[in-house]
Amino acid sequence: MGGGMSHDPELPGGFQDADFDQRGLEAAGALTAALKRRGVCDHGWLMAPAGKPAKCLHCGAVFADAAAAYEARREARA
């Protein structure tokens, strides 16, 4: 085998770590898309400089800091 990924025989069914990572990313994307269809922003694209207000670059909402933005994201996804 040339450079790149190798098969991990310890994982079941021939799956690789990347397969599980991809499944998680697809699920997160599906949730974001479903919320967007309902008109809910999950604040998934943030500009959050350390110690300054955070801004969602999707909807423009401004939060006191990154922690407040992440809390709003958790609430939107709940």
In a domain, 38, yes or no: yes
Structure tokens given for 49: 């400089």
- Reported as a pLDDT band with limits 50, 70 and 90, residue 1 is very low
In a domain, 3, yes or no: no
Quote the pLDDT of residue 40. 94
In a domain, 5, yes or no: no
pTM of the model: 0.66
CA atoms within 13 A on the CB side of 10: 1
In a domain, 66, yes or no: yes
For the chain, the domain total comes to 1
SS3 per-residue string spanning the chain: CCCCCCCCCCCHHHCCHHHHHHHHHHHHHHHHHHHHHCCCCCCCCEECCCCCCEEECCCCCEECCHHHHHHHHHHHHC
The boundaries of the domain holding residue 64 are 15-77
Quote the pLDDT of residue 7. 63
In a domain, 7, yes or no: no
